[in-house]
Amino acid sequence: MSMSPTKSSRSKSFQIVRYQYRPTWQRMGLLYLAVWLGTSLVPLRLAEADNRVLIIGIDGAGGSYLPAVSTPAIDRLAFDGVASYQSLNEGALVASPPSGYGASGVNWTTIVTGMSAAHHGIVDNSFAGYDPSAAPHFFTAVKQFDPSLFTASIVNWSPINQQLLTNADLALEYDCCSASAEDAQLTADTMNLLRSGDPHAVFLHFEQVDAAGHGNGWGGAAYQQAIRNVDAHIGDIVQAVKTRPGYISGEENWLIMVTADHGGIGTSHSAGQGHVNWKVPIILSGSTFPDNSVLVPGTLRDLAPTALVHLGVAPHTLQLDGGAIGTPGQFLPSGADLNGDHLVNADDFTWFKNHLDDDLAKLDVTQRYAAGDLNNDGLHSPADFALFSQQYQYAWANFRGKVAPPFRAEEIPEPSAFMMLGFAFLVFLRRRR
């Protein structure tokens, strides 16, 4: 992505979790009171905890591409929270979307405002007609809620700050050198802030993945290397969070969010490219969310409301179009532990086979997954077994010989023996069809 406003612009392993968001009676009382009083535009307080938010944006890192690249830092965040690589940008949410709905201006505006493109009014990277008073950055609500909370926007595409930001204690942007060098400086500045400052809401934007897509093609070697580079930066930043005294003591409760604005094909991107452009990652990592779960795909509109709720702000008073992630039914059970006994072994494979005749049409999305429909397409197929196999081998690679939940390593059979079972299963599946 260029630095001007005219820019052109995992399947991982998880454990079964049945998560339910349980607000405290104090929070629910405030929510009901707000409904009774009406739709005041002054944000309401939901919590007194020292909650903090870090949103990490990776420009151009489409959900169709990210899972195929080795990203240990992002994977660790997903393992410690919830993840979806099939959430949707604005291009997917309207019929016959304008081309610009698959570009950065529209989708970064949606991310930081929680509003649809029709609501915030941006249709391309010119930001023409944008009214920050009508569609404010979520930092505005943070400051109205508590002016003492420190906000920082550190970005490698200047229009995010210059066009959208009106209320931040720290605003940094870069226009000095290559996108990779600027991302490195962004990382250093963010780590310095986390080590020596007291931030409560931090928004980051990395540029080099989008730049590699435009320069060398989405999905190519340079593009994948750019993803690996940003993943390393994310690892450094997360480590800076985790070495904060407040984090170590447990006083600070950080929610770390990772997302992107669009994918692309060749060296360009537009809404007309369909799902490869529309699919984006949403990863939420923190104590608010169940570990290692698959998030039911949502939209970029959900990120700002989720951040606000974590910070204690009631987003329903702000006329947003997205919803806070963390309500019942938003998380799918996941991983090779299909029977929910917190072990990965032949019993899960037996469970998988025993549910092949289940009538999936009578099951909800959570029940279908537990019955073996791992790709949630309403069918039992070899594709489901391929996902099960991949997740099983991930459990082997990451937990065998280690004392780490949720799997007891000694219970995980060798992948070679498991693959023999898998071959037999595929023969069985073909015969039954």
Q: What string of DSSP letters covers 387-427? A: HHHHHHHHHHHHHTTSEETTEEGGG---HHHHHHHHHHHHH
Tell me, yes or no, whether 289 and 373 share the same domain: no
Of the residues 332, 361, 390, the one at which a domain ends:
332
Q: What are phi and psi of 134, to 5 degrees?
A: -90, -30
Question: In this structure, what CATH number is given to the domain that contains residue 140?
Answer: 3.40.720.10
Instruction: For 110-141, write each residue's pLDDT tens digit.
Output: 999 999 999 999 999 999 989 999 999 999 99
Of the residues 275, 310, 332, the one at which a domain ends:
332
Confidence of residue 231 (pLDDT cuts 50, 70, 90): very high
**Helix residue ranges per DSSP H, 270-337:** 275-278, 303-311
Tell me, yes or no, whether 298 and 425 share the same domain: no
Tell me, yes or no, whether 177 and 67 share the same domain: yes
- How far apart, in Å, are the Cα atoms of 330 and each of 18, 33, 53, 248, 323? 10, 25, 20, 29, 11
- In this structure, of 162-176, 310-324, 397-411, the range with the lowest mean pLDDT score is 397-411
The amino acid at residue 381 is S
Tell me, yes or no, whether 78 and 162 share the same domain: yes
Tell me, yes or no, whether 365 and 235 share the same domain: no
Confidence of residue 48 (pLDDT cuts 50, 70, 90): low
Q: Using CA atoms, how far apart are residues 420 and 204, in angstroms rounded to an integer?
A: 46
Neighbours of 397 (CB within 10 A): 11
Q: What's the domain range around 238?
A: 25-332
Tell me, yes or no, whether 87 and 224 share the same domain: yes
Tell me, yes or no, whether 274 and 414 share the same domain: no
Tell me, yes or no, whether 313 and 222 share the same domain: yes
Helices (H) and strands (E) in the chain, counts: 16, 11
Q: Does pTM surpass 0.95?
A: no
The H or E element spanning position 108 is: helix 104-113
Residue 165 domain flag: yes
The H or E element spanning position 222 is: helix 221-242
Query: Residue 265 gets which letter from DSSP?
Result: B
Tell me, yes or no, whether 395 and 276 share the same domain: no
Q: Using CA atoms, how far apart are residues 261 and 110, in angstroms rounded to an integer?
A: 9
Bigger pLDDT: 25 or 285? 285
Residue 90 domain flag: yes
3-state secondary structure of 315: helix
Residue 85 domain flag: yes
Mean per-residue pLDDT for 216-243?
Answer: 98
Tell me, yes or no, whether 77 and 141 share the same domain: yes
Tell me, yes or no, whether 322 and 369 share the same domain: no
Residue 84 domain flag: yes
The alpha carbon of residue 23 and the mean position of all alpha carbons in its chain are separated, in whole angstroms, by 22
Residue 4 domain flag: no
Mean per-residue pLDDT for 369-377?
Answer: 74
Q: What are phi and psi of 161, to 5 degrees?
A: -80, -45
Residue with tokens 């944000």: 43
Mean per-residue pLDDT for 18-30?
Answer: 36
Residue 15 domain flag: no
How many domains does the structure of the chain reveal?
Answer: 2
In sequence order, what DSSP letters do the residues of 17-46 get, joined into one string?
Answer: --------HHHHHHHHHHHHH---SSPPB-
Tell me, yes or no, whether 359 and 303 share the same domain: no
Q: Using CA atoms, how far apart are residues 103 and 56, in angstroms rounded to an integer?
A: 18
Residue 185 domain flag: yes
Of the residues 292, 309, 332, the one at which a domain ends:
332
Residue 339 domain flag: no
| Percentage above 90 pLDDT, the chain | 56
- Average pLDDT along the chain: 80
